[in-house]
């Protein structure tokens, strides 16, 4: 996974009033928890923008005062109307303890079912993966070349090296759906025989 550098400042005021004042200064209240000491801090919204609006899962190298920690984003909260990031929770990671994160899925190849007139449909955009953060890939790349018309690819069929897939095993990741054109092509082939 890629590493994202972020600098934070420890905070000692809490509550709605304090958080509202921080947000007016273009700061985002944050927490980090997991392995060692839990810390509350703020980061600049401008500095965190690339972390907030990326489709990738990143490892964050946090510098909070004189403390350095490696973490992943556990949860982000957004304002329901303005969609401004209101709060970020980080989970501290290390090379010994596995962590569960959601990793984006990317499909490659030209499915057999699409060649037969079907339509490829990506049903899940992310998979939950558990593993040591250094073993977790940036993206899960799945080859769909052998996926035929009407066929489905399940979570159970996806393997990630050195990691365990935690998503529901029976869930559909991708499928090739029959279309009107694919139905006409199949009936023409049956009539020709």
Is the pLDDT at 83 greater than 70? The verdict is yes
Residue 81 has pLDDT above 80, yes or no: yes
At the fourth CATH level, which superfamily is domain 100-192?
Answer: Ribosomal protein L25, C-terminal domain (2.170.120.20)
CB 125, CB 146: distance < 8 Å: no
Question: What's the confidence (pLDDT) of residue 182?
Answer: 62
Range list for CATH 2.40.240.10 in the chain: 3-94
Q: pTM to 2 decimals? A: 0.75
Higher confidence at residue 57 or residue 173? 173
Report DSSP state, residue 18: H
More confident site: 193 or 143: 143
2-49, pLDDT tens digit by residue?
A: 888 989 888 888 888 888 888 888 889 999 988 778 888 999 988 888
Compute the distance between CA of residue 104 and CA of residue 122 in angstroms, rounded to an integer: 11
Six token digits for residue 144: 């769909």
pLDDT in tens, 150-179: 899 999 988 888 889 998 999 999 999 888
Contacts of 64 (CB under 8 A, 6+ apart): 7, 8, 9, 10, 32, 39, 41
Looking at per-residue confidence, does 188 or 177 come out higher? 177
Topology of 3-94 in CATH?
A: Ribosomal Protein L25; Chain P (2.40.240)
Domain with CATH 2.170.120.20 in the chain: 100-192
CA distance 146 to 113: 8
Q: What's phi and psi for 131, nearest 5 deg? A: 175, 175
> pLDDT by residue (tens digit) across 109-142?
998 888 888 899 999 999 999 999 888 888 899 9
| Alpha carbon distance 159, 164 (integer Å) | 8
């Amino acid at each position: 996974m890629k590493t994202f550098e972020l600098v934070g400042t420890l905070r000692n005021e809490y509550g709605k009033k304090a958080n509202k004042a921080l947000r007016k200064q273009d700061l985002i209240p944050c927490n980090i928890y997991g392995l060692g000491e839990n810390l509350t801090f703020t980061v600049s919204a401008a500095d965190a923008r690339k972390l907030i609006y990326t489709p990738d899962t990143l490892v964050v190298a946090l510098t909070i005062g004189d403390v350095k920690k490696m973490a992943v984003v556990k949860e982000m909260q957004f304002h329901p109307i303005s969609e401004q990031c209101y709060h970020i929770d980080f989970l501290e990671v290390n090379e010994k303890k596995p962590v569960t994160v959601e990793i984006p899925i990317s499909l490659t190849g030209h499915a057999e079912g699409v060649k037969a007139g079907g339509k490829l449909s990506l049903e899940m955009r992310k998979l939950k993966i558990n593993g040591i953060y250094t073993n977790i890939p940036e993206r899960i790349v799945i080859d769909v070349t052998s996926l035929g018309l009407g066929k489905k690819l399940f979570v159970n069929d996806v393997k990630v090296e050195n990691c365990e897939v935690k998503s529901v095993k029976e869930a559909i990741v991708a499928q090739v759906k029959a279309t009107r054109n694919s139905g006409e092509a199949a009936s023409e082939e049956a009539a020709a025989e």
